[in-house]
């Protein structure tokens, strides 16, 4: 996903940054100072009110939000005034950066704080700092470890999905009639919301008494087609539904990868006497390996967020067999209002994801380099 | 692919023996067989949902599948959400409820996608054309800062947002939801648009700048029109993700800003499952995107392909 910035900086030479007059410079600083002052002032007033030292009639923290937006605008204006062309260019990314900082960095820091508190929304005592108690509780919480264990299986299922998606991409890439029709049809499951899928497939088609899938299973000779009572079967059913929605995503990426392979390459392989099987494994598969890795990574990222189907079909049951981390924390909040503990679990999950993905990317990077040399 | 390539070798002479010919026919039969089976797997749940919305209870119980042959279609399901022809003219509270949720979903997903497209494509353009330096952060770090949002699981932000939104009086409001959805799809927009802008030759903007356009003028009048197909792709992908989002909507909205997925989910629990009305509701919830998918398939595929292939 990371590519070297190739054509950046080439526009830098066209427009020379003119000297900015001192007066404009001062005006720029003044505007930024005004914005900062307003933000600091509003923040201070609100904090004073929050600790009940003064009363200004601010009902909520909303004014602080407006002050932040105002500060952002003054920052942009002052950039343009002070830095001229460079400031104009900064305008391209400043709004997005400010937005992400407000929406991610700040809540993450805040989340880090509440994850070390004992805070139950339904209890009257309010928020209380409790140090490492949440971590200790997590250590002894079998359901959380169980959810992490399930996530491992859900993630491994990506490999099976990948194999199916690759097969479909190869078929779509081959010379078939009605290719456009098949492409549209194969894409459709991706359009459907997981909530609708969990009703359409999980709750009605897999219905034990008269769902068509259950009927089909009965016809195949399975007496009691209960998809959600046996732990492993339930897990498998969830995986199948999730795979059904997301296989098109990988399929299309892989199809694009296959189409990017020049026709001459496969033809050359054929001239050299390679059969279809050899052409695939020796030529196409290695050539599409980078796309494959991107597709698998994107899919894993989406997989790690899996929750909607589980929440709506099994609520984690039977006995936590289908629980994902997200669905578990969702219930921790909704049923027990346990904000502090739930947030800690989510933070730990984030750390695990970051560590695992970093290791995975490093291993993949090393392996890819090895593969290249081997092929070359 | 090689498997199915027609063999027109040897100067058009039918070179293959009878055995090879048979083998080729068998091969094609297998290929079309797999394609048709998978098409069936993709379509059947949709077919089942749409037909179930026209069934009465006994039809569902007996597993009837084909309308007019197995069962006589009725408007039961659509009646229960106030959308059948005979009740369409009357006022109906269920329909009002449905329309409200539907409009909430429309507003939330359209505004969030628009906002994300504006923020994301300007940022992507900046990152692909200029070199920045904010403190220690260079272009590569800023790109990573945006793209790394992709791995952030929503559950990490859920509870901080619940508390913050409560303090900001944004809980159960569409504004709050739109801001969150924008955040959710922003990395995807940046990712797609960065590759799009990279594909546009810099010479075009250089010429525009020499002709006296400003940096922003060149972006808006030269680059944006060229990058429009990519922007449509990014917009539609964002739309899909926002329209289908359930997790945040379930946590952060209750009465006013509840979206369609939350409404669908909340119907299943209460008084057993009302098959026909659930089917009608699900059909209505998936219909807009199914139509978008069929009409704009080209753009969706182009958008997803951009990120995958350099």
pLDDT in tens, chain B (310 residues): 444 444 444 444 444 466 778 888 888 899 999 999 999 999 999 998 888 888 877 777 777 777 777 777 888 778 877 777 777 777 777 888 888 999 999 999 999 999 999 999 999 999 988 888 877 788 888 888 888 888 888 888 888 888 888 888 888 889 999 999 999 999 999 988 988 888 888 888 888 888 888 888 888 988 999 888 889 989 998 999 999 999 999 888 888 888 888 888 887 654 556 777 888 888 988 999 999 889 988 888 887 777 666 5
Do B62 and B166 lie in one domain? The reply is: no
pLDDT at A12: 55
Query: ipTM of this predicted complex?
Result: 0.86
Quick: pLDDT tens for A250-263.
998 899 888 888 88
Q: Which of A81, A114, A147 is the last residue of a domain?
A: A114
Q: Based on the domain organization, do A240 and A337 belong to the same domain?
A: yes
- Domain containing A45: what range? 22-114
- In this structure, the answer to whether residues B235 and B293 fall within a common structural domain is yes
pTM of the model: 0.87
User: Which pLDDT belongs to residue B307?
Assistant: 67
Domain count, chain A: 2
Residue A1 lies in a domain: no
A141 and A289 assigned to the same domain: yes
Give the mutation candidate from B129, B182, B268, B308 for the A interface (greatest A CB count, under 10 A): B308
Nearest CB neighbour to B157, from listed A7, A107, A197: A107
Res. A316: pLDDT tops 90: no
Q: Flag if B45 and A255 touch (Cβ within 8 Å).
A: no
Same domain, yes or no: B167 and B289: yes
Residue A283: give its domain's CATH number. Answer: 1.10.3720.10
Contact B156 A350 (CB under 8 A): yes
Q: Which residue range is the domain that position B48 belongs to? A: 18-80
- pLDDT, one tens digit per residue, over B38-61 is 999 999 999 988 888 888 777 777
- Residue among A204, A290, A346 whose CB faces B155 most closely: A346
B284 and B147 assigned to the same domain: yes
* 3-class secondary structure per residue, chain B: CHHHCCCCCHHHCCCCCHHHHHHHHHHHHHHHHHHHHHHHHHHHHHHHHHHHCCCCHHHHHCCCCCECCCECCCCHHHHHCCCCCCCCCCCCHHHHHHHHHHHHHHHHHHHHHHHHHHHHHHHHHHHHHCCCEECCEEHHHHHHHHHHHHHCCHHHHHHHHHHHHHHHCCCCCHHHHHHHHHHHHHHHHHHHHHHHHHCCCHHHHHHHHHCCCCHHHHHHHHHHHHHHHHHHHHHHHHHHHHHHCCHHHHHHCCCCCCCHHHHHHHHHHCCCCCHHHHHHHHHHHHHHHHHHHHHCHHHHHHHHHHHHCC
With a CB-CB cutoff of 8 Å, which residues 11-70 of chain A face chain B?
Answer: 11-12, 14-15, 59-62, 64-65
Q: Is residue B13 a part of any domain in this protein?
A: no
pLDDT score, position B123: 93
Residues A92, A238 within the same domain? no
Residues of B in contact with A211 (CB under 8 A): 63
Looking at CA atoms only, how far is residue A359 from chain B in angstroms?
Answer: 14
Q: How far is A23 from chain B (nearest CA, A)?
A: 23
Q: Which of B80, B107, B129 lies at the terminal end of a domain, its last residue?
A: B80
| B28 within domain boundaries | yes
Same domain, yes or no: A327 and A223: yes
Instruction: Please check whether residue B102 lies inside any domain of the structure.
Output: yes
* Pair A293, A176 in one domain: yes
More confident residue, A357 or A371: A357
In terms of domains, do B60 and B111 share one?
no
At B113 the pLDDT is: 95
Q: Is residue A3 in a domain?
A: no
Residue A372 structure tokens: 């290249």
A125 domain-assigned? no
Residues of A in contact with B147 (CB under 8 A): 1
Query: Percent of chain A beyond pLDDT 90?
Result: 20
Asked whether residue B87 is assigned to any structural domain, the reply reads no
């Amino acid at each position: 996903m990371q590519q070297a910035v190739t054509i950046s900086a080439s526009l830098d030479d066209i427009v020379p940054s003119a000297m900015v007059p001192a007066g404009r410079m001062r005006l720029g600083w003044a505007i930024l100072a005004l914005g900062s002052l307003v933000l600091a002032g509003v923040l201070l007033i609100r904090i004073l009110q929050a600790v009940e030292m003064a009363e200004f009639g601010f009902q909520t923290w909303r004014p602080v939000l407006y002050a932040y937006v105002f500060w952002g605008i003054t920052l942009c204006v002052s950039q343009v005034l002070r830095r001229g062309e460079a400031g104009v260019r900064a305008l391209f990314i400043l709004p997005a950066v400010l937005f992400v900082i407000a929406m991610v960095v700040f809540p993450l820091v805040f989340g880090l704080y509440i994850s070390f508190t004992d805070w139950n929304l339904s209890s009257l005592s309010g928020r209380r700092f409790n140090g490492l108690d949440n971590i200790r509780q997590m250590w002894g919480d079998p359901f959380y470890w169980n959810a992490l264990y399930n996530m491992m299986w859900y993630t491994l299922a990506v490999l099976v999905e990948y194999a199916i998606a690759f097969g479909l991409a190869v078929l779509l890439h081959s010379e078939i009639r009605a290719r456009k029709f098949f492409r549209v049809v194969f894409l459709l499951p991706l359009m459907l919301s997981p909530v609708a899928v969990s009703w359409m497939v999980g709750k009605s088609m897999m219905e034990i008494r008269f769902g068509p899938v259950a009927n089909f299973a009965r016809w195949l000779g399975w007496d009691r087609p209960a998809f959600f009572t046996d732990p492993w079967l339930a897990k498998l059913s969830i995986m199948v539904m999730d795979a059904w929605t997301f296989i098109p995503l990988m399929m299309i990426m892989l199809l694009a990868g296959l189409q990017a392979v020049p026709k001459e390459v496969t033809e050359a392989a054929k001239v050299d006497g390679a059969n279809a099987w050899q052409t695939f494994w020796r030529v196409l598969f290695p050539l599409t390996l980078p796309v494959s890795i991107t597709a698998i990574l994107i899919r894993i990222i989406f997989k790690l967020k899996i929750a909607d189907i589980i929440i709506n079909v099994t609520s984690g049951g039977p006995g936590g067999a289908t629980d994902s981390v997200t669905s578990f924390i969702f219930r921790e909040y909704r049923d027990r209002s346990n904000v502090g503990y739930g947030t800690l679990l989510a933070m730990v999950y984030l750390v695990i994801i970051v560590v695992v993905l970093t290791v995975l990317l490093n291993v993949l990077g090393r392996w890819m380099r090895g593969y290249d040399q081997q092929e070359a | 692919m090689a498997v199915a390539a027609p063999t027109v070798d040897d100067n058009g002479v039918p070179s293959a023996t009878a055995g090879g010919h048979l083998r080729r026919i068998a091969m094609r039969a297998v290929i079309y067989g797999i394609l048709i089976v998978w098409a069936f797997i993709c379509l059947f749940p949709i077919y089942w949902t749409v037909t179930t919305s026209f069934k009465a209870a006994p039809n569902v119980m007996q597993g009837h599948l084909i309308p007019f042959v197995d069962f006589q279609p009725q408007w039961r399901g659509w009646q229960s959400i106030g959308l059948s022809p005979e009740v369409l003219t009357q006022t109906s509270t269920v329909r009002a409820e449905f329309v409200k949720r539907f409009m909430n979903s429309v507003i939330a997903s359209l505004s969030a996608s628009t906002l994300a497209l504006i923020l994301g494509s300007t940022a992507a353009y900046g990152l692909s054309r200029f070199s920045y330096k904010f403190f220690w952060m260079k272009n590569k770090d800023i790109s990573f800062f945006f793209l790394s949002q992709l791995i952030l699981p929503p559950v990490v932000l859920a509870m901080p947002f619940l508390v913050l939104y409560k303090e900001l009086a944004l809980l159960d409001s569409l504004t709050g939801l739109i801001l969150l959805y924008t955040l959710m799809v922003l990395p995807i927009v940046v990712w797609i648009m960065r590759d799009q802008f990279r594909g546009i030759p810099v010479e075009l903007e250089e010429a525009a700048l020499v002709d006296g356009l400003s940096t922003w003028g060149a972006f808006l009048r030269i680059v944006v029109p060229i990058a429009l197909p990519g922007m449509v792709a990014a917009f539609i992908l964002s739309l899909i993700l926002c329209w289908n989002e359930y997790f945040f909507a379930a946590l952060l909205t209750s009465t006013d800003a509840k979206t369609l997925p939350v409404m669908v989910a909340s119907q299943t629990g209460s008084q057993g499952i009302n098959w026909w009305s659930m089917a009608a509701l699900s059909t209505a919830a998936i219909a807009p995107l199914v139509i978008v998918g069929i009409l704009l398939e080209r753009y969706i595929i182009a958008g997803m392909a951009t990120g995958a292939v350099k």
